[in-house]
Amino acid sequence: MTTSAIRDVERFADEVEVGDEIPGVTHRPTEVQLFRYCAVTWNAHRIHYDPAYAASEGYPNVLVQSHLHGAFFTSLCTGWAGERGELRRLQYSVRRFACPGDVLLCQGSITRIDDSVDGGVLVTVELREVRESDGVSCAVGDADIFLPHRTAVADGQG
């Protein structure tokens, strides 16, 4: 389950400032989602789909895949960037495990804006994914997102 209120919004360079927050998007992974993600990514590690195996490794349930945390960040960034924006770089690190049923809040804040890049700006965003039950950061990262200038779009450049 995912909730988002930022999709389908046009976003332009002149609308953002350092310190702005990217509205949060929540995800609640399910065991079925983890199993399917294993299948489409050819990830055969049992810790992601076999609860008994995960328990034998000391975990309370199967674990959310590292790449799924990254997919949640990708979704946050591309949803916020809008149709004309572009995710140019993403890096992240998983710090703590998450399990099915955990509510994960992905959000970000703008830390830097580089002007005059291809008819727009390059916005650097600090990312965090927090498990709502205990406030633990499961993943952190940063991304560079291109946003066009409104005038570049009007002139047919974006």
Stronger pLDDT, 4 or 55, i.e. the higher one? 55
Quickly state the pLDDT bin for 152 (edges 50, 70, 90): low
Residue 8 confidence (pLDDT): 59
Name the 3-class secondary structure at 48.
helix
For the chain, give the mean pLDDT.
91
Q: Is the pLDDT of residue 7 over 70?
A: no
pTM of the model: 0.89
Task: Kindly state the average pLDDT of the residues 84-92.
Answer: 96
Whole-angstrom distance, CA of residue 111 vs CA of residue 141:
12
Tokens at residue 78, please?
């591309």
Side chain identity at residue 134, one-letter code: D
Confidence of residue 87 (pLDDT cuts 50, 70, 90): very high
